[in-house]
Amino acid sequence: MSLLDWCRVGDGPLYESMVLDTMARTLKGIVDSELAAQQVPIEGGFCDIELPICTEASHGHRLWYEWAQRYEIVSLLGEVKNMREKASFEDVNQLFAYLNGAKRGRCGLLVSRSGFTANAMSRMRSLVSDHHVLILGLDHGDLKSLLEFSKEDSQKVMTYLRRKENLLRRFNERPARR
């Protein structure tokens, strides 16, 4: 059982701290963990986490180099939902607003302890295709998988994240008309 499992549902600040730590470890060498922060003020609100990207290190990681170019990433902003309910359409829009207001890039993480509603997933897919914004939805199981992969091989982490992006993009591809 991981430490993530010990945090009780509803304890937002503790879970946010654990997500921040997990992502900093998982993205070691890509994220500047010394500058990572919780409760970052943005546009009159507070984004749960910020993970600044080591831009000089992105050249050594193909995925991050591509994402840095495509999504103009300076920092990953993240919203963390430690609730029994699935993250909703409104939760995706909240992070989208933070990404627009913060001017730190067009890529963010929405972490939901309980997963995502169909409307939330649909919104994440539409943001990729319509606005060229990537919001990666990660649930509790995804975090645990990423942590395990990071212990084995950092390339497995990159492959996992690439697959998450591909799933969002693939559902937006329209079949050719006949």
If we measure between CA atoms, which residue out of 143, 136, 171 comes closest to residue 63?
136
Specify whether the CB–CB gap between 11 and 82 falls below 8 A: yes
Specify whether the CB–CB gap between 171 and 125 falls below 8 A: yes
Say if domain 3-170 classifies as CATH 3.30.470.20.
no
User: Which of the pair, 10 or 48, is modelled with greater confidence?
Assistant: 48
**Two tokens at 23?**
């992502």
pLDDT tens per residue, range 19-73: 999 999 899 889 998 899 999 998 778 999 999 998 776 667 888 888 888 999 9
**Two tokens at 62?**
């193909």
% of the chain surpassing 90 pLDDT: 62
- CA distance linking residue 109 with residue 36, whole number of Å: 14
Q: Where are the domains of the chain?
A: 3-170
Q: What is the pTM of this model?
A: 0.90
